[in-house]
């Protein structure tokens, strides 16, 4: 049997195909299209890779901020549960899970058997999100993909506020005008973002192994800064952006009951 998970984020939509035991395939679509259109597109593209029709997929679950817009899904599951399930499937020793995307960040603590024990989310302020680092890249005039390497090359750290994204923006501009190197400013931006993550970790407690997922986990500068500030190794699974979609697919494989709405919206 086949199961699918769809994760609708603020800047990207991810789809994972699962057979109940292993991941068969995954797709990530960076898009500004509305949730339903983007979810349908990435899901159709994934099914085409395996020559599958939607009627061959037993169940589809959606997660993420736009999960309610995915009309062809058979249900939805919480972001926290999906992040925990997906992470634990890939890294069975995970106990603290950091999930950071474009518009949000959450930290989850898992029990030894992988059950979600506690979690917390960031406030509405953007300073603890991927968008904050992206904003820094705009001011430094470098592609977002280069921010991590820029940070790692720094010989020091420029001071950047971690308490308010608006204030941090003015500090970044001030650092640029005062002649601080791009590397130091990038390091300061990553330290500010990591400081907000540390605040979340402090609410639930830090238990090893620590794992980071979500799009921000692809940033080596942020991961390294987190390791330095926590004093712990931070593991990153392959394809960290798709972990939540994987968790939704795993949840789909465990849901009981009929699937009368299978393929809805694709006929």
CATH number given to 1-90+242-267 = 3.30.420.40
pLDDT exceeds cutoff 60 at 259: no
Read off the pLDDT of residues 77-133 as tens digits, 9 standing for 90 and up: 999 999 999 999 999 999 999 999 877 899 999 999 999 999 999 865 555 577 889
User: Do 1-90+242-267 and 92-236 have matching folds?
Assistant: yes
Q: The dihedral of CA 120, 157, 161, 175: what is its sign?
A: negative
**Tens digits of per-residue pLDDT, 55-81?**
999 999 999 989 999 999 999 999 999
> How far does Cα 78 stand from its chain's mean position?
13
- The residue extents of the domains of the chain are 1-90+242-267, 92-236
pLDDT > 90 fraction of the chain, expressed in percent and rounded = 77
Return the closest-CA partner of residue 142 out of 109, 115, 174, 176: 176
211 in Cβ contact with 234 (< 8 Å): yes
First to last CA, the chain: 20
Look up the CATH superfamily of 92-236.
Answer: ATPase, nucleotide binding domain (3.30.420.40)
- Which tens digits make up the pLDDT trace of 165-180? 666 778 888 889 999 9
């Amino acid at each position: 049997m086949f199961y699918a998970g769809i994760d609708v984020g603020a800047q990207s939509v991810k789809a994972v195909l699962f057979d109940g035991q292993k991941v068969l395939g995954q797709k990530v679509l960076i898009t500004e299209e509305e949730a339903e259109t983007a979810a349908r597109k990435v899901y159709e593209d994934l099914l085409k890779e395996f020559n599958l029709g939607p009627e061959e997929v037993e169940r589809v679950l959606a997660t993420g901020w736009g999960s309610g817009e995915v009309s062809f899904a058979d249900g939805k599951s919480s972001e926290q549960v999906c992040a925990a399930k997906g992470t634990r499937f890939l890294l069975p020793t995970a106990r603290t899970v950091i999930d950071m995307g474009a518009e949000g960040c959450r930290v989850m603590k898992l029990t030894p058997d992988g059950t979600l024990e506690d979690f917390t989310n960031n406030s509405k302020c953007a300073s603890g999100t991927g968008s904050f680092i992206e904003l820094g890249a705009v001011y430094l005039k470098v592609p977002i993909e280069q921010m991590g390497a820029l940070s790692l090359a720094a010989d020091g750290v420029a001071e950047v506020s971690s308490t308010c994204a608006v204030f941090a923006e003015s500090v970044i501009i001030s650092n640029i005008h005062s002649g601080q190197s791009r590397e130091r400013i990038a390091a300061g931006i990553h330290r500010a973002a990591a400081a907000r993550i540390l605040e979340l970790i402090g609410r639930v407690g830090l238990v090893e192994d620590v794992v980071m997922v979500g799009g921000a986990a692809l940033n080596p500068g942020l991961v390294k800064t987190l390791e330095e500030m926590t004093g712990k190794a931070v593991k990153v699974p392959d394809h960290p952006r798709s972990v939540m979609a994987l968790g939704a697919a795993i949840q789909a494989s465990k849901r009981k009951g009929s699937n009368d709405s299978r393929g809805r919206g694709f006929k």
